[in-house]
Amino acid sequence: MLDGVSSIIFFHPGRLTRTLVSLPHFLVMAPNLVKLVYFQNDNVTAAAMPLIEMSFLESVTTNFLALSNSFVTSFSAGRVNAPNLREVSLVSDGQDASVPLGNLLAANPTIRTLHMQGEFDPVGPTGTHILFRDAPPLHTLVVSRASRKFIEALSAADENQSPLALPFLSCLKIECTRAWSANMTWTEFETLFRSRCEINQDDGLTCIGAQQLKHLTLITHDVLTEKTRKAIGNRMKCIRHFESDRMLLFRWEAPPREV
C-alpha cells in the first residue's frame, strides 16, 4: 500500500516489484493521493473495478493514450469518487481528444480548471458539442495550440442564442499556433472579445449570453497582420514580447463593476 503518498508520477505499463499495475489497481493502493500524473504508452484498457474512493485527489495530469484507454474504465466511467478533483491537464500530440475528454468531464462534475491542447474542432460534425456537451461549469480554460475551430466554438451561440460552449468561464488563456497567428483576422479576434468580454448593461451578460471573463490572456506569434495586431492592441495590453521565440503575450482584465 502507498497510503503515505500524496503526489506521484506513474508511467504505464509500469511495475511495483514484479507485478504490472493498472490504473485502477494503482489508485486502490494510493488512496490519499492529492496530485496524480499518469501517462500511458500502450493501448491496453484496464479491467473495471468497484467504485474507488479518492477523497483527497485535487489534480490529474494525463496523456491522450491514458485518457483513451485506462481512464475509460476508471475516471471516465464514474468508477472513481473524487469529490475534490478540481483540475485536469491533458498532454497530447494534436490528437482529437474531444470524445474521451468529453466523457471524462461529464463523469467528474467537480472539475473547474482544464488545461489542454486544442488543435481540433471541439464541436462535432453533427453540430452537437461533443467536448462541452455535458461538461461541468468550468471556470478556467487554458488552451495551447488553439485552432480556428476552437476559437469559433468559444465565440459562438447555438440555435437557442445560448453560448455554444462553457458559459461560466471566468479565466481564458489561449496560445495560438504560428499558422493560426498568421491567418487570424481582426474580425475573428473582435468576435472572440465581444462574445466573452463585453457585457450588455441590461443583463450583465455578453452578446452570446455568456458570463463576462475576469481575465483573458492571448499568446500569439509575431506574424500577426498589422491590422490584427492593432485590433488586439486596442483591446488588450501587450505585456511581453519574447524576442527569442517571436511570441507576443497580451492580457486583459475586466474593469470593476459599478455597484
pLDDT digits (tens, 9 = 90+) for 170-229: 999 999 988 889 999 999 999 999 999 999 988 899 999 999 999 999 999 989 999 999
Identify the DSSP state of 17. Answer: T
Residue type, 200: N
pLDDT confidence of residue 17 = 42
Q: Establish if 258 belongs to a structural domain.
A: no
Q: Establish if 221 belongs to a structural domain.
A: yes
Whole-structure pTM value: 0.90
Q: Establish if 156 belongs to a structural domain.
A: yes
pLDDT confidence of residue 78 = 93
Q: Establish if 193 belongs to a structural domain.
A: yes
Q: Which residues of the chain, if any, have pLDDT below 50?
A: 15-18
Measured CA to CA, the distance from residue 193 to residue 236 in angstroms comes to 10
Measured CA to CA, the distance from residue 123 to residue 71 in angstroms comes to 22
pLDDT confidence of residue 16 = 45
Cβ within 8 Å of residue 237, ≥6 positions away: 250, 251, 252
Q: Establish if 44 belongs to a structural domain.
A: yes
**Nearest alpha carbon to residue 165 among 195, 194, 129:** 129
Measured CA to CA, the distance from residue 62 to residue 148 in angstroms comes to 25
Terminal-to-terminal C-alpha distance of the chain: 54
Measured CA to CA, the distance from residue 177 to residue 145 in angstroms comes to 5
pLDDT confidence of residue 29 = 85
Q: Establish if 23 belongs to a structural domain.
A: yes
pLDDT confidence of residue 173 = 97
Range of the domain at 40: 7-253
Q: Establish if 259 belongs to a structural domain.
A: no
Q: Establish if 1 belongs to a structural domain.
A: no
pLDDT confidence of residue 35 = 96
Per the structure, the count of domains in the chain is: 1
What percentage of the chain exceeds 70 in pLDDT? 91
